[in-house]
Structures are given as C-alpha cells and as structure tokens.
Amino acid sequence: MKKTGIAKSIALALGLSAASVAQAADVEVLHWWTSGGEAAALDVLKQDLETQGVGWKDMPVAGGGGEAAMTTLRARVTAGNAPTAVQMLGFDISDWANEGALGNLNAVASEENWDSVVPTALQAFAKHDGNWISAPVNVHSTNWVWISKSALDAAGGKAPTTWEELVAVMDAMQANGITPLAHGGQAWQDATVFDAVVLSMGNDFYQQSMIDLDPAALSSDTMVEVFNRMAKLRSYVDDNFSGRDWNLASAMVIEGKAGMQMMGDWAKGEFLKAGQTPGEDFVCIRFPGTQGSVTFNSDQFAMFGQGDGENDAQLKMAASIMNPVFQSAFNVVKGSVPARTDVPNTDFDDCGKKGMADLAEANDAGSLFGSMAHGHAAPAAVKNAVYDVVTQHFNGDMSSEEAAEELANSIEAVM
Ligand code: GAL
C-alpha cells in the first residue's frame, strides 16, 4: 500500500477526513508527458516525491506540445477546481500569473537561492512581480535533428552542416529506399520544424521575425525562402505523416524505417527508452545552419493557489523539482538539460553534454532564443497564428509568398 494509503487509513481511524490528509500529503498534477520516454522521466519525479511522503494523483492529458492540456486546465480552473500543480510553458505561465491564479514559492526559492542558479531566460517566466510562481524542471531545445546512424552511413556518412548538405543527405536516403524525414503532421510539430528553419536563416532574422514580430521580417523574401524550404522538407515525409504523434515519428527513426526526425530533444528520451546509444545507433546534430544558437523551451510546474494558504505538498514538490540531484536524474532520462546552472554533466550522454555546452555557449553569445512553437517567443494567440499559417502551408493550402503575407497579417491581427 502506498504511503498516502497508510496515512489515509490512520487518519480515518482517528476520525480525520481523508480529504484533509489528501490535501496535506498529495499533489494532483496535470501534464502531457504520456510517451514512453516522458513517462520514464516522470517516474523519477513521482518516486522522488514519494520518498518525501508526497502522494501523486496523476492527471495526464495526452497531446504533444500541451495544447490539449492547456484547454483542460482552463476548464478545471473555470470550474473552481484547479489541479495542485501543472506542467506549463513560457508565456502560458505568465498569462496565469497575470490572472493571480498561481501560488507563491518564495519560501523555498529564497531558502535554496534559486535566483543565483536559474538562468535569467527561465526566470523571465518563473517569476512574476518578483515572486517565484513556478519551478523549472529542465531546458529543452528544439533546433535538433536526430539521425539514424545506419541510414546516415548508407547515405555517405557525413552529418550535414548546411541546407544544401541536408538536402543531399535526404536525397541519398530517398534513393536508398527509406523515408528521409519522419514527421508527425500536427500543427505544433510543423511549427517546431519551422522554428529551426527560421533560425537557420540567422540569429537576427529569428529575433526580428519571431521575437520582435516585425511585419517587414515576417513578410520578407527571407520568410518566403523559409516557406520554400518547408515545402522542400514536405517532399521528404511519408504519405501517412498526417496526424502522427511525435513519438511514433521517433520510432520510425529508431526502427530504421526513416532517416531522421527534426524535433526537440524530448525525442532523445524515446531513443534512450528504446535502448539506443548516441554515436552508435543515432546521431544528434543542430539543425544545419543553427550550430552556435539555441531555440529553447523550459518545462515548469506552476502551483495553483489552493485557497487554504500555502500547500505543504506544493512547496515540497517545488523543492524536489529544483534539487540538483533530481535535476540530473530527471533530465538524463527526459532528453533535456537541467534548469540549474550548477548541475554537473557527469551522468549525461554525449548528446546531453552537447546540449548543456550549446546552451551555455548560446547564453553567453546572445544567441539563445525562446522557441515560438513551444510558447517561449510570444503569447499563445501569436503562437497559434503561426501554427495556423505554417500548417496550412505545409499541407499545400497556400504558396510560400501567400504564407509569408498571411503570417504577417495574422500576427498583426492578434497583437
Ligand atoms: C514540449 C514539452 C516537452 C515534451 C514535448 C512533446 O512542449 O516541453 O517536455 O512534452 O512538448 O510533447
């Protein structure tokens, strides 16, 4: 019987309500980590909390990128029944903080000096009016390509560093009879690839178009070229890509049915769960043309005010999330890198070590950018406008010129 089960039995024997014990000792967590690799990482957190007597009431809402989870969250809060803690990204955290819905974590954050170890890029979302309102568990980055080692060897063996080399490798893979690009036709996945293609046109262009939302950049010839490249990538996916979940695309590469996947480093969690090793079974590279730069997103757990003052279990969960030992153990499995800058890379594989080094380099060089696709470049209304245009274009519903024009117009319409 779980600890919380024993606690409840004793409480009931003493005439206390199970709810009061549940409230003190349990956290109900809304999240979208339902793939094999994600669930393995989540278990690290569940077990860590259990050792501290905090029970876990799971509330998974499947759907990569978290769109469905955020819709469910809105319904729960509207019904006056907010979960204890919620996995959230970037501007979604800020939006809920602006509504005054989030609990205050300063008691833990100040005691454990989070201000000195959490990168400012994450603090921008984890703090509101100077108060800590969420606990960052990791830093993912989205401008990665995960390549089957055997498929790459059969296509010449050199990992591409430019767009032209990428096209040549995909052409060779196509000639070898495998699907060059494993992809899931869902708006957030199309947008994840779009992030990388925009970044490959240069740091300044990503800043101007995705962060500054400059209409001139959004409708520029450079953006037309971005959409031309998206159309070229569309020619390398298989006929059944529409609606495919991202982890099933990862499985195509893992099983040698496809040559590569352009996806955030949560994909590495699937390769690891399948028992594969970087450098032997797969190769991790930055999207060609983006080495030295990073588009990031951080998974954070925001704590919703439970109305009866601070919830001890929430503070314990926040402390657990930010524990350096946990940060290493969790991120090694998740495919991301720690949200703290003081965690050693000892236990990380070569791709994890590269991820940590790339993040530090980009942070120092001013080439660390929030991912548009994963809610770290602009609020949800803008992100969804980008989703709509990018996925319509990827599905062949508009030309590259129309897409660039529509991108500028639809973003302007929601600002
Ligand atoms: C991202 C999230 C990752 C992973 C991915 C696929 O937004 O940060 O942890 O869940 O979506 O669903």
Chain segment 176-234, per-residue pLDDT in tens: 999 999 999 999 999 999 999 999 999 999 999 999 999 999 999 999 999 999 999 99
Average pLDDT over residues 62-73: 97
Please give the structure tokens belonging to residue 287.
Answer: 């999207």
Spatial CA neighbour of 286 closest among 180, 165, 154: 165
CB neighbours (10 Å) of residue 81?
10
Ligand 1 centroid vs 251 CA: distance in angstroms? 16
Q: Is 213 or 309 the better-scoring residue by pLDDT? A: 213
DSSP 11-75: HHHTT--HHHHHHHHEEEEEE---SHHHHHHHHHHHHHHHTTT-EEEEEE---GGGHHHHHHHHH
292 by DSSP, 3-state: which?
A: coil
Rg for the chain, CA atoms, rounded: 22
Ligand 1 centroid vs 337 CA: distance in angstroms? 13
How confident is the model at residue 308, as a pLDDT?
A: 59
Domain ranges within the chain, ordered by starting residue: 3-141+297-348, 144-295+356-414
Ligand 1 centroid vs 116 CA: distance in angstroms? 26
| Residue % of the chain over a pLDDT of 70 | 93
Ligand 1 centroid vs 12 CA: distance in angstroms? 39
Question: Which residue, judged by its Cα, is nearest atom 5 of ligand 1?
Answer: 65
Residue 22 has pLDDT above 70, yes or no: no
How confident is the model at residue 20, as a pLDDT?
A: 43
Question: Which residue, judged by its Cα, is nearest atom 6 of ligand 1?
Answer: 64
Q: How far apart are CA 330 and CA 343, in angstroms?
A: 12
227 by DSSP, 3-state: which?
A: helix
The CATH number corresponding to 144-295+356-414 among 3.20.20.210, 3.40.50.12780, 3.40.190.10, 1.10.1060.10 equals: 3.40.190.10
Chain segment 248-305, per-residue pLDDT in tens: 999 999 999 999 999 999 999 999 999 999 999 999 999 999 999 999 999 999 999 7
| Amino acid code (one letter) for 368 | L
Residue with structure tokens 């080495």?
291
Q: Which atom of ligand 1 is nearest to the CA of 35?
A: 12
Q: Which atom of ligand 1 is nearest to the CA of 64?
A: 12
Ligand 1 centroid vs 122 CA: distance in angstroms? 16
Name the residue of 29, 31, 33 to mutate for ligand 1: max ligand atoms within 8 A of Cβ: 33
Chain segment 134-147, per-residue pLDDT in tens: 999 999 999 999 99
Ligand 1 centroid vs 224 CA: distance in angstroms? 28
Work out the end-to-end distance of the chain between its first and last CA atoms, rounded to an integer number of angstroms: 52
Q: Which atom of ligand 1 is nearest to the CA of 336?
A: 9
Question: Which residue, judged by its Cα, is nearest atom 3 of ligand 1?
Answer: 266
Mean pLDDT of the chain: 93
Q: Which atom of ligand 1 is nearest to the CA of 374?
A: 7
Do the domains 3-141+297-348 and 144-295+356-414 sit in the same CATH topology, yes or no? yes
Ligand 1 centroid vs 244 CA: distance in angstroms? 15
Q: Which atom of ligand 1 is nearest to the CA of 63?
A: 12
Tell me the three-class secondary structure of 312-378, residue by residue. Answer: HHHHHHHHHHCCHHHHHHHHHHHCCECCCCCCCCCCCCHHHHHHHHHHHHHHHHCCEEECCCCCCCC
Name the residue of 140, 183, 265, 376 to mutate for ligand 1: max ligand atoms within 8 A of Cβ: 140
Question: Which residue, judged by its Cα, is nearest atom 8 of ligand 1?
Answer: 299
Q: How far apart are CA 84 and CA 305, in angstroms?
A: 8
Question: Which residue, judged by its Cα, is nearest atom 2 of ligand 1?
Answer: 65
Q: How far apart are CA 404 and CA 412, in angstroms?
A: 12
Ligand 1 centroid vs 34 CA: distance in angstroms? 10
CA atoms within 13 A on the CB side of 329: 15
Residues with CB under 6 A from ligand 1: 32-33, 38, 64-66, 89, 140, 246, 266, 297, 299, 374
Q: Which atom of ligand 1 is nearest to the CA of 247?
A: 6
CA atoms within 13 A on the CB side of 389: 26
Helix 312-321 and helix 18-25: axis angle, to 10°? Answer: 30
Angle at 78 between CA 67 and CA 380, to 5 degrees: 30
Chain segment 312-371, per-residue pLDDT in tens: 899 999 999 999 999 999 999 999 999 999 999 999 999 999 999 999 999 999 999 999
Q: How far apart are CA 368 and CA 296, in angstroms?
A: 7
Q: How far apart are CA 314 and CA 14, in angstroms?
A: 25
Ligand 1 centroid vs 120 CA: distance in angstroms? 21
Ligand 1 centroid vs 65 CA: distance in angstroms? 5
Chain segment 231-253, per-residue pLDDT in tens: 999 999 999 999 999 999 999 99
Domain 3-141+297-348 fold is: D-Maltodextrin-Binding Protein; domain 2 (3.40.190)
168 by DSSP, 3-state: which?
A: helix
Ligand 1 centroid vs 222 CA: distance in angstroms? 28
Cβ neighbours for 25, distance < 8 A, ≥ 6 positions apart: 3, 4, 7, 53, 54, 55, 313
Name the residue of 29, 32, 265 to mutate for ligand 1: max ligand atoms within 8 A of Cβ: 32
Question: Which residue, judged by its Cα, is nearest atom 11 of ligand 1?
Answer: 65
Ligand 1 centroid vs 88 CA: distance in angstroms? 10
